[in-house]
Structure 1
Amino acid sequence: MPGPNLLIGNGEVLAGTIQRDGGGGGKKAYPYTIQQARERLRQGIAGIADALDQLPDVAKPRGEGTGLITVHPAFLAKTQMPAGVFRRAGLRTLGSRPAMVTPMNDARVNAPSGPQPAAELYVCGTSEAFRQLGNMLMSDSTAKTHQDEFCRLEAVRFLAPADRLVRLEGQDAQVPIEVVLHGDSGDTVLLDAFEAYANTCGVQLGRKKLLGVPGLVFMPGTASRTDLAKFASFTALRAVRRLPALRLNRPVIRQRLTVQAPALPDADALDSSLKVVVFDGGLGARDFSRWCKEIVPAELDATHADYLSHGTEVTSALLFGAVEHDATTLPRPYFDVVHHRALGLNDEHDVDLYDCMRRIDAVLRAGDVDFANLSLGPRLAIDDGQPHAWTSMLDGHLAQGHTLMTVAVGNDGNVSDGMGRIQPPADAVNALSVGAADSREFMWNRASYSCYGPGRSPGLVKPDGVAFGGTEQQPLVLLNPLAGGLTGVQGTSFASPLALRTAAAARAISATPLSATTLRALMIHHADRFQGHDSRDVGWGRFPEAPDDLLTCGDHEVCVIYQGHIEAGGTMRIGIPVPPVALGVGLTIKATFCFACPVDPADPINYTRHGLTVVFRPRGAGSSAPFFSTGNYDTEQDLRADAYKWETVLHKTANFAADQLLDACFDVDHGAREHGLKVDNSEVPPLPYVLIATVSTQKGEPIYQSIMQKYRALAPIQLRERVQLRGR
């Protein structure tokens, strides 16, 4: 009996480099003349210099301070962002944050009205450098290119202490805080000055626990509420915010079920070579020891039963999945798991979460992790304007594309006033963030407790998707030996490992190498979303439960994986296999681009360093048709027109008549930036990208075999020996 149709694994044979189209956008009209810019900006620049002079030396390391410079909404592209005038004056751009502004003037044709997305730049230097900037503004001898940069600015002001104080509501006299510092973790001069100033303000800093990422330093501490304003005057500070509580994504319910628990399988994992890790609360029993090893730091030997039960259930979900109602024996695990106990009783007395985060950081830094699950983290909604230590740390590790990590989005989705938004680090652009669905059946929705999106831009579509996480009426059933058998639970904590199990199982089954980015793309590509579902609730949709769904095709479709590289500044033409069908047959193309990407944590508005501009050409060179567009990302944030280019995932489905498609292809431009500015493409390494493309017939006409006969360079993926797939 023939097996199921396997997806095609070498689509890159249909891709090749082409010459980039030399077209450009032309010159933009400036909203202000240089005279208007002088009238609008000179007082703000002078005010920064004067404010710096009034600060004590101990509050301004190296004599420097920071201004906030707002760029007009029309000039946010990397080729338009001002930079040269700041360098000429002796100033440095430290980072950015998003803002909504209503410009006083707008020279664009059909300019939008009302508030628009803009960027506020953190610009640093001495008072003399800011005065030099003011002199350049007022001088007619300033170079025309620098005068033009002044004409792109909307506002300039000093970064006041109040700008740095974030989410510090309350009446407690001693406030647990997290500080975000512009700088480098190896800059001892800056850190010594900061610690000395903090001492004068009665602030206790956990300097030994600091976490450094490019451009930023994160550190916990404790401050007197009455001294917060003085403390926030330190000019290298970006933000001071309240430390969040730790979330374990505890389920609202955990009920012991009285039915007989199925037996454990008597078989080793299918592929014991995979490195699959869990960061959680530990294991309280050795029942899973055949497939799971627990690593317990010495300081976490003492722990809590809730932590162990949570960790056991997360690991059970990853090893065996949801327990079917008629199961007598659990399925054979696809892989082994290493469970890293990441928290214990000591962490309850040390509320800054940094010890937990640093343990995870150390494991990921050591490398050699193929898959990882994280179902804990800070309990707070993400902030568009300020980076978070957990997110920055994870994105830094995942940027190489070697590890697929699932992250639970949190269980506060029914909290009001926007506090139900996804929680860090589920906003990591290089992670697969997972929410909870309320059912495994055909009809489903977001579970009410599951945190919702959008994420930040880039990274707007978050969660990436959902998996069944249980509800009070229909709990997720897992084996928990600590509870004496089967338990019914609910929570995104358990949806997350279920999603990872699907992806890692596909890797275990396939003999053809599938990268972490490829598996992330396959999960998104095959996510199921009804027309009525809001992407802010469910992301790209409900992830498949069975690895077979990632690796097989129906007779009416062909799914092709492209795993390739694209040079910075280069263009690839990627061919799409078009079946030989009769006129009048309707075809559907579903495509998912995905890549892992280095990030700039200090620049939330320009967070990702790589982007793809994709043009669909249905009839080959010279043709074009809408496909990927900002329409995928429209939300209440009213994104600027080119924001989608910097997303790490592009996903869309479109319908065509067969006679509309001839030599169909995507032309893909690779753009690179750093801190939102242009870079030398010759110094940027090629970007590994993945495209998953499915071509299917709308009425079920078979095409798989005809595609394979027409495109003989294509070949199905290979499976491990003795693996049987159920097909479709």
Structure 2
Amino acid sequence: MAGPNLLIGNGEVLAKPTDRKTGGSNPSRFVYTMEQARARLAPALAEIALALDQLPAGAKPYGQGTVVMTIHPRHLAKTRMPHHLLKYANLKMLGSKGAWIVPERDLPGREKQTPQAAAEVYLAAQSDTLRMLKRLLMDDQANKELQRDFRTIERIRLLQPAERLLNLEGDDAQVDLEIVLHGEGSDDVLLDSLEAYAADCGVQVGRSKLLSVRGLVFMPAVAPRAKLDSFALFTALRAVRRLPELRMNRPTIRTQAEGEAPALPQLDCVDPSLRVVVFDGGLGVKDFGRWCKEEVPALLDSTKADYLLHGNEVTSALLFGPADQGAVLPQPYFNVEHHRVIGSANEVDVDLYDCMHRVDAVLRSGEVDFANLSLGPRMCMDDDQPHAWTAMLDRHLGKGRTFMTVAVGNDGTLQNDKGRIQPPADAVNALTVGSASSRSEFMWGRADYSCYGPGRTPGLVKPDGLAFGGTSQEPLVLLNPFARGLTGVQGTSYAAPLALRTAAGARALCAKPLTATALRALMIHKAERSENDDRRQVGWGRFASNPEDLLTCGDHEVSILYQGHIKAGGRMRIRVPVPPVAMGVKLTITATFCFSSPVDPADPVSYTQHGLTIYFKRKDDDPVPFFSLGDHEGEQELRADGNKWETVLHKTAQFEASELLDTYFDVDHGARRRGMAVENKHTASLPYVLVVTVASAKGEQIYQLVRQRYTQLLPVELRTRIRLGT
């Protein structure tokens, strides 16, 4: 008997590089004349220089202040940013954040009284540099490129101390803080200056625990509330915020489930070569020892029962899935390496930095295939200020080596957006998982406790999707040997490892490895959803629970996996296989693009360093954008809906089959650093993944038609002795 139709695994044979024909860039149209720019900016530059002179010397590392330059909404494209001016004045770009402003002026016919997307660029400058900029601004003989750059600036100001103090309400005399610095962890002059000034303010900083990522330094601190305003004068500070507490399936909801526990399988795992890591509270028992090894740091020998309960449940979900499906648990697809990253020592590690560094150390090994994180800081994400956990994870995952699931948190019932996803679930390179309310085929949605989206832009669609994590009416039943039986649980902590089990299981079934990015694309592509689903609630949909679902398709459809590289500044033409069907047949095309990207943590508005612009061509029509509702006016609209720099793009559209002759995607790869243009010849190619499903609207059998027409397309190969269900 023939098995199910397998995913086509070599779609890249239908792709090839092609010339990127352009008609030349449109000449910039400036909102402000040079005279208007001088009248607006000269007084501001003089005022900033004077204010900087008046700051205490100890509050100004290198004698510099942080200047905020707001770029007009019409000049947000990477090629229109004022890079000539920054280079000429030797202004160091520290970072940026998004802003919504009503500009003082706009182009004729485009005047709007509603806020528009803009960028606030953070620059390090001395007062002498600011006075030089003022002279340059007033100089009629200045280089024309510099004059044009001045005309892109909407406003310029000094970053104020109050802007650095975030969410510090309360009356506690001593405040546990997380501080964020612009700079590098290797800059001893900066860190020495911080320690000295902090000591003058009575602030204790945890320099020994710092985490450094590109352009930012994070560390814990303790400060007298009365000294916060003085401490916030330190010019290299980006943010001073309250330390969050640990979230590990909080609030904890667990019940003893009825019934006899199923037996453990008497089989080794399917693929022992995979390195699958869990970061959690530990196991403390050896019941899963055949498939699981626990790593326990010496400092964490002492722990709490609740941590061990949680660690056992997360690991059980990952190894076996729900425990109410039969008398014997299924054979695991892989072995698990459980790293205990919290314990009783975390009662004094109130900042959770030790916990974060333990996760960082394992990921730095670079040999992790899959990982799950069901804990982190209990706080909702901030659109403008990056978090240490998120920056750390994206630094590792941006290499595309590791597939990682992250639970979004369980505070979804909080009001006023306090129930948004919690760091590091805003990581753009992770698969972030919320909890579905039911395993029912039709009646499901977001569980009310599951944190919701959106994420920031880029990374707008968060969570990426849902998996069943249990509810009070329908608990998720897991085997927990530490609890001596079955437990009924609910929480995104358990939804995340269930999603990871699907992805890692699919790789275990394949003879040739699927990449982390390919699996992320397949998970999103195969998620079930309806047109009316709110992405802020369910992301891209409910993930498949069976690994086989990622690798198979029905007779009425064909799914193709493409994997390749696109040069920076280059174009890839990717053809879509269309079956030979009768006139009048309607075909649905579902496409998912996915890539992993290095990030600039100090620049939330320009967080990802790579982006794809994708056009869809059918029959005699001109290529049109596929992943947007229509043409964009410019970079600000792309920023507003996030398409260009998103690491995941997904859409479904229906066409008459006759419209799809000679159908292809043209994919352009754009690169940037800190929002600025880069030299393409010095930029690495981008590994991309595309999954396309072509389906007949009325069930016509097209899988074999495509295989017969495109003989070069081959299905994925399964491991020996693996037979999928039919």
Give how far 1:108 is off: 5.9
SS at match of 2:644: helix
The separation in 2 between residues aligned to 1:434 and 1:650, in whole angstroms, is 17
1:350 partner letter: D
The alpha-carbon deviation at position 24 of structure 1 amounts to 4.0
Q: What count of residue pairs does the alignment treat as equivalent?
A: 722
The 5 Å alignment of 1:494-505 reads 494-505=494-505
CA deviation profile, 1:132-177 (whole Å, cap 9, x unmatched) = 1111112212222111111111111111111111111111110001
Corresponding residue of 2:404: 405
Contact 1:618 1:625 in 2 (8 A): no
Which stretches of structure 1, 4 residues or longer, exceed 6 Å deviation after superposition?
none
- Are 1:251 and 1:489, in contact at CA under 8 Å, matched by a contact in 2? no
CA contact (8 A) 1:44 1:158 kept: no
2-structure distance, mates of 1:124, 1:515: 40
- The separation in 1 between residues aligned to 2:693 and 2:430, in whole angstroms, is 23
CA distance in 2, matches of 1:251, 1:722: 44
Residue 527 of structure 1 pairs with residue 527 of structure 2? yes
Contact 1:300 1:346 in 2 (8 A): yes
Deviations, residues 391-415 of structure 1 (Å, cap 9, x unaligned): 0000000011010000000001110
| Partner-residue secondary structure (3-state), 1:644 | coil
Which amino acid is the alignment partner of residue 274 of structure 2?
L
For residues 567 and 513 of structure 2, the distance between their equivalents in structure 1, rounded to whole angstroms, comes to 22
Residue 559 of structure 2 aligns to which amino acid in structure 1?
Answer: C
User: What residue in structure 2 maps to residue 233 of structure 1?
Assistant: 233
Deviation per residue, 1:369-425 (Å, 9 max, x gap): 000000000111111111110000000000110100000000011101111000000
Q: Which amino acid aligns with 1:137?
A: L
Q: 1:708 maps to which residue?
A: 707
1:25-44 paired onto structure 2 within 5 Å: 25-44=25-44
Please state how far the C-alpha of 1:324 moved relative to its aligned partner: 2.7
Q: Tell me which moved more, 306-315 or 623-632.
A: 623-632
Matches within 5 A, 1:104-119: 104-107=104-107, 109-119=109-119
TM-superposed deviation, 1:28: 3.0
Name 2:380's counterpart in structure 1.
381
Q: Which moved more, 1:84-93 or 1:537-546?
A: 84-93
Unaligned runs of 5+ in 1: none
Whether contact under 8 Å (1:116, 1:638) holds in the other structure is: no
Paired AA for residue 115 in structure 2: P
Q: Which residue of 2 aligns with 1:243?
A: 243
- The letter for the 2-side match of 1:169 is E
1:339 corresponds to which residue? 338
Q: Any residues of structure 2 matched to 1:279-358 within 5 Å, and which? A: 279-325=279-325, 327-358=326-357
Aligned to 2:170: 170
Task: Tell me how far 1:112 sits from its aligned partner.
Answer: 4.2
Contact 1:313–1:478 under 8 Å retained in 2: yes
User: Counterpart of 1:7 in structure 2: which amino acid?
Assistant: L
Q: TM-score, normalised by structure 1?
A: 0.97
The percent of aligned pairs where both chains have the same amino acid is 62
Give the corresponding residue for 2:359: 360
Moved more, 128-137 or 369-378: 128-137
Question: What's 2:253 paired with?
Answer: 253
Q: Does 1:150 align with 2:123?
A: no
User: Counterparts of 2:684 and 2:75 in 1: how far apart (Å)?
Assistant: 27
Deviations 1:568-626 (A, max 9, x none): 00000001000000110000000000000000001000000000000001127x63245
Equivalent residue number for residue 725 of structure 1: 724
- Counterpart-to-counterpart distance in 2, 1:258 and 1:557: 42
d(CA) in 2 for partners of 1:612 and 1:240?
35
- 2: distance between equivalents of 1:251 and 1:277? 24
Pairing 1:45–2:23 present? no
Q: Deviations over 1:420-470 (max 9, x none)?
A: 000000000000000000001122110000100100100000000000011
Q: Is the 8 A contact 2:78 2:677 kept in 1?
A: yes
RMSD over aligned Cα atoms: 1.5
CA distance in 2, matches of 1:163, 1:454: 24
Partner of 2:21: 21
Tell me the equivalent position of 1:54. 54
Q: Distance in 2 between matches of 1:301 and 1:138?
A: 67
Q: 1:25: Cα distance to partner?
A: 4.5
* Aligned counterparts, 1:636-715, within 5 A: 640=639, 643-715=642-714
Match of 1:563 in 2: 563
Structure 2 counterparts to residues 247-646 of structure 1, below 5 A? 247-250=247-250, 252-325=252-325, 327-442=326-441, 443-619=443-619, 623-629=622-628, 640=639, 643-646=642-645
User: Shift of residue 89 of structure 1?
Assistant: 2.1
Shift of 1:87: 2.3
User: TM-score, with normalisation over the residues of structure 2?
Assistant: 0.98
**SS of equivalent residue, structure 2 residue 342:** coil
Q: Secondary structure at the match of 1:271?
A: coil
Structure 2 stretches lacking a partner, 5+ long: none
More off after superposition, 343-352 vs 25-34: 25-34
Task: Confirm or deny: 8 A CA contact 1:246 1:378 kept in the other structure.
Answer: yes
Contact 1:630–1:644 (CA under 8 A) maintained in structure 2: no
Task: Report the Cα offset of residue 23 of structure 1.
Answer: 2.5
* Counterparts of 1:173 and 1:638, CA distance in 2: 45
Q: Distance in 2 between matches of 1:59 and 1:631?
A: 49
Q: 1:632 to 1:434 in 2, by over 3 A?
A: farther
Q: Which amino acid aligns with 1:262?
A: P
Deviation per residue, 1:163-198 (Å, 9 max, x gap)? 111111111110001111111111111111111111
Structure 1 residues 84-114: Cα deviation after superposition (integer angstroms, max 9, x where no partner): 1122223211110111111111106445431
Q: Give the whole-Å Cα distance in 1 for the aligned partners of 2:534 and 2:336.
A: 34
Question: Could you say if the C-alpha distance between residues 638 and 483 of structure 1 is closer, same or farther in structure 2, counting changes exceeding 3 Å?
Answer: farther
Take 1:238 and 1:626, find their aligned partners in 2: how far apart are those partners?
37
Partners of 1:193 and 1:426 in 2: how far apart?
A: 33
Which 10-residue stretch deviates more, 718-727 or 597-606? 718-727
Corresponding residue for 1:82? 82
Task: Output the CA distance in 1 between the equivalents of 2:90 and 2:17.
Answer: 41
1-side partners of 2:305 and 2:74: how far apart?
Answer: 55
Give the whole-Å Cα distance in 1 for the aligned partners of 2:160 and 2:69.
Answer: 13
- Alignment match, 2:66: 66
Q: Is the 8 A contact 1:284 1:309 kept in 2?
A: no
